[in-house]
Amino acid sequence: MDKQKIKPLDEERESRSLLSNAVVILHLVFGTLPLLLVVWAVDRLMSGTLTSTMIWIVGAAMVLFTLLRGMFYGMSIWRAHRSAYNALTRLRSRIVSHLQRFVYFTPKAYRYFNPKVYHFKLICKLVFLVSLYSGGTAGI
């Protein structure tokens, strides 16, 4: 891995955490606003100043805030998934680059660390076991 291309880890983590924190805060704010609107509407109802126009405005605002809350929730989940995937990718590449320093680690040996090859071998073994236990009629 080239050190020139990689941002310092602390700087990268800080920039990601600021945006993630902002998205989570907006999710919480838009989750709280409908409750505050209900409290405001009940207060107006108790004082006798609630009109039908106000009810429609409060209802539309609650729907809008709920949609925005869902959008920010989805964004926070997506950012968390992307951060975790990027962390795993960096970790795997660091492990492979570390293993490549050893003499016994050749491109032939790399295929055993490749998840697609490993999963294919695992599926083949499972199909074999299923066909073995079902009397050889497992659709092979």
pLDDT digits (tens, 9 = 90+) for 1-46: 445 455 555 555 555 677 778 888 888 898 899 999 999 999 999 9
Question: Do the Cβ atoms of 139 and 126 come closer than 8 Å?
Answer: no
Is the whole-model pTM more than 0.85? no
* Residue of 47, 66, 125 whose CA lies nearest to 133: 125
Mean pLDDT value across the chain: 76
pLDDT tens readout for residues 126-138: 777 777 776 655 4
b vs e for 100-121, b when ≥16 Cβ sit within 10 Å of the residue's Cβ? Answer: eeeeeeeeeeeeeeeeeeeeee
